[in-house]
């Protein structure tokens, strides 16, 4: 077992495709199933999942790409820090190309700024240790899968007595915007394919309010193609039966209670806060900020910066795309002014953005 290729068997996929068609046979409407994870977005395109589904099932992507939902002001602030002498910006790769109001980290790097791409926040801590005369600022962007790793980096930096490691945070939580989107009358979501690895940390029980109070079925689904098809089948069955329960397809990893040690690490360093989402606006208690006890590592509190007034790009429909209301082809900039080489909006930058996935795999 490698716990990956076994879940890509085309023969087994045929069985699941037949089963999905049987679940919805006789269902007169069209059900809208939303995923809220960039890795699901990619998997749907990569494996051509949409082409395998009957016309009664419509799959849409929600605000599941962390880079895409990060407001432009955050990018501007990172750029302002990058321009300060003696500063190293450490970040996951996706953020580097995201356009700010008038520049990007890539452009600043070309102009001499120190911008380093890291695989792990712990690599950023190591960078701070190796460069004691410099300030290392890690760009903390991500959902509940990633935030505990950032918490782990802050605890590690504290234990090592580092004074030059900082985090500029835009951490977000996923169940809160799901509830907001569920209440949007324009967007009738019939079921959620819940994210695999966010749920690894927070646990499947985190979606119970969605199922119980909003009456929307939820299935925690893995990222491999067979997982995706099985998750869709389970969700379709609930929708047809008019049920709303939380089920776990990805049971080899996800538990109802999640990873409590990871949750404890996250809660040690972070606390809930209101935060803005690109395209959606401020959602109360949907973000995570660094607690007072760890304020010494918070770039926002410790390091002043002159940030330009944020300007959204004209004509870009990222905001509507993130809510699942518009598909990339309906944006006037898509494939014209906005391409992966010259992205206008964040959804085209991140490899898991809906526009980038549509550009690469769509026809």
Partner 1 sequence: MCLAVPMKVAEIFENTAICEVDGVRREASLMMLDNVVVGDYVLLHAGFAIEKIDPEEAVKTLEVFREVLDAGLLPE
- Name the residues that contact partner 1, by CB under 8 A: 1-4, 6-7, 9, 11-12, 14-16, 18-19, 22, 37-39, 65-67, 92, 94, 119-123, 141-143, 145-146, 148-149, 152, 155, 195-198, 200-201, 223, 226-227, 230, 233, 249, 251-254, 259, 261-262, 265, 350, 352
Beta strands in the chain, from DSSP E residues, in sequence order: 31-35, 57-61, 87-91, 114-117, 135-142, 165-172, 191-194, 218-220, 246-248, 270-277, 281-290
Identify which of residues 5 and 183 has a Cβ nearer to partner 1 in the complex.
5
Identify which of residues 249 and 298 has a Cβ nearer to partner 1 in the complex.
249
Identify which of residues 84 and 351 has a Cβ nearer to partner 1 in the complex.
351
Write down the least CB distance from residue 253 to partner 1, Å.
5
Identify which of residues 37 and 75 has a Cβ nearer to partner 1 in the complex.
37
Write down the least CB distance from residue 61 to partner 1, Å.
14
Write down the least CB distance from residue 112 to partner 1, Å.
28
Tokens of 261: 């040690």
| Helices then strands, each counted (H, E), the chain | 16, 11
Write down the least CB distance from residue 120 to partner 1, Å.
3
Q: Phi-psi region for residue 37, left (φ > 0), alpha (ψ -120 to 50) or beta?
A: beta
Report phi then psi at 275, rounded to 5: -150, 145
Asked if 38 contacts 352 with a C-beta cutoff of 8 angstroms, the reply is yes
Identify which of residues 200 and 238 has a Cβ nearer to partner 1 in the complex.
200
Share of the chain residues as helix, strand and coil, in percent rounded to the nearest 5: 45, 20, 35
Write down the least CB distance from residue 235 to partner 1, Å.
14
Burial degree of 172 (CB within 10 A; 0-12, 13-18, 19+): buried
* CB-side neighbour CA atoms (13 Å) of 305: 24
Instruction: Lay out the sheet containing 165-172: strands in order across.
Output: 114-117, 87-91, 135-142, 165-172, 281-290, 270-277
Write down the least CB distance from residue 154 to partner 1, Å.
12
Identify which of residues 11 and 341 has a Cβ nearer to partner 1 in the complex.
11
């Amino acid at each position: 077992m490698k716990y990956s290729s076994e879940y890509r068997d085309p023969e087994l996929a045929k069985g699941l495709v037949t089963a999905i068609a049987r679940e919805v046979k006789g269902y007169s409407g069209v059900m809208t199933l939303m995923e809220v994870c960039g890795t699901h977005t990619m998997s749907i395109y990569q494996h051509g999942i949409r082409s395998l589904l009957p016309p009664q099932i419509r799959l849409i992507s929600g605000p599941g790409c962390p880079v895409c939902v990060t407001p432009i002001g955050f990018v501007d602030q990172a750029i302002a820090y990058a321009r300060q002498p003696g500063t190293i910006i450490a970040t996951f790769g996706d953020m580097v190309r995201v356009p700010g109001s008038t520049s990007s980290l890539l452009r600043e790097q070309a102009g001499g700024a120190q911008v380093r791409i890291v695989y792990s926040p712990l690599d950023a801590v190591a960078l701070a240790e190796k460069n004691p005369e410099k300030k290392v600022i890690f760009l903390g962007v991500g959902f509940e899968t990633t935030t505990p790793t950032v918490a782990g980096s802050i605890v590690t930096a504290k234990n090592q007595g580092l004074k030059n490691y900082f985090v500029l945070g835009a951490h977000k939580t996923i169940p809160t915007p799901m509830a907001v989107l569920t209440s949007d009358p324009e967007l009738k979501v019939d079921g959620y394919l819940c994210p695999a690895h966010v749920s690894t940390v927070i646990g499947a029980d985190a979606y119970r309010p969605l199922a119980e109070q909003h009456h929307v079925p939820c299935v925690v689904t893995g990222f491999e193609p067979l997982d995706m098809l099985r998750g869709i089948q389970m969700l379709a069955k609930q929708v047809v039966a008019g049920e709303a329960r939380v089920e776990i397809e990805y049971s080899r990893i996800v538990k109802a209670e999640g990873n409590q040690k990871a949750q404890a690490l996250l809660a040690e360093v972070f606390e809930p806060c209101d935060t803005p989402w690109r395209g959606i606006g401020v959602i109360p208690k949907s973000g995570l900020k660094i607690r007072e006890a760890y304020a010494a590592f918070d770039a926002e509190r410790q390091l002043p910066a002159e940030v330009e007034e944020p300007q959204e790009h004209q004509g870009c429909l990222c905001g509507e795309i993130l809510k699942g209301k518009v598909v990339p082809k309906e944006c006037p900039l898509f494939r014209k002014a906005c391409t992966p080489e010259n992205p206008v909006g964040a959804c085209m930058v991140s490899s898991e953005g809906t526009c980038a996935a549509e550009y690469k795999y769509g026809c």
